[in-house]
Amino acid sequence: MITLKKFTFNPYQENTYVLYDETGSCVIIDPGMYDGSEQNELATLVRDLALKPERLLNTHCHIDHVLGNKFVFDNWGLKPEFHEGELPILEAIPGYAPQMGMHYELSPAPIDFLPETGNLKFGNSELQLIFAPGHSPAHLCFYAAAENFLIGGDVLFYRSIGRTDLPGGNHQQLIQSIKENLWPLPDDCEVFPGHGPSTTIGFEKMNNPFLM
């Protein structure tokens, strides 16, 4: 059974997630830690619960979702896993971070890329990959079928959707991704997004002004 812990980090108020199960194995998703106090928050959780970080996952590679990649690598030796189509997004960060006034520690490059579909495992648990481009070129969501929740990144928010005015964004593609790839999930599936509060698939079908 997967337990979820959410942190909200960095100036963009990005949601970082740690998922762990009864084995103590965990995955860290979209680490957004920006300063020492935020890094300590995550490290303290791992230490206090005696967790064993197994995988570092990025839904996509905009700066606010990868600020902590290097910290995770330095502490637990994990290199990020994401779809290959996000690599140019990651590689572009050093060019624009200074203009945004952001300090960015270079993320390690991945060893392997994630496919558009399939499953990934940690401990006794499994996450299903759901490909949902539009906010970024090769965005992935992670669905825990047994627990019926989705780590949605910046695709679907409470009564909103991801912005599409950043490089690699495509509004029509995002709408299509949500309707074709997220709407088939159960209506009571809880969506944990990259920013803001959680929501459910059913609530957004009925109330999201961008998708009605």
CB neighbourhood size of 177 (10 A):
24
User: Parallel, antiparallel, or unpaired: how do β-strands 125-131 and 190-193 relate?
Assistant: unpaired
Residue 20 lies in a domain: yes
Residue 14 lies in a domain: yes
pLDDT tier, 188 (very low <50, low <70, confident <90, very high otherwise): very high
Mean pLDDT of 49-63: 98
In this model, does residue 80 exceed pLDDT 90? yes
Residue 80 lies in a domain: yes
pLDDT tier, 167 (very low <50, low <70, confident <90, very high otherwise): confident
Q: Please name the residues in contact with 28: beta carbons below 8 A apart, sequence gap of 6 or more.
A: 16, 17, 18, 42, 53, 55, 56, 57, 68, 72, 78
Cβ(193)–Cβ(185) below 8 Å: no
pLDDT 10s digits, 135-160: 999 999 999 999 999 999 999 999 99
Domain hosting residue 126, numbered range:
3-207
Residue 110: give its domain's CATH number.
3.60.15.10
pTM above 0.85, yes or no: yes
Number of domains composing the chain: 1
Residue 212 lies in a domain: no
Mean pLDDT of 123-131: 98
Residue 88 lies in a domain: yes
Helical segments of 68-194, H only:
69-76, 87-96, 171-177
Which pLDDT belongs to residue 137? 98
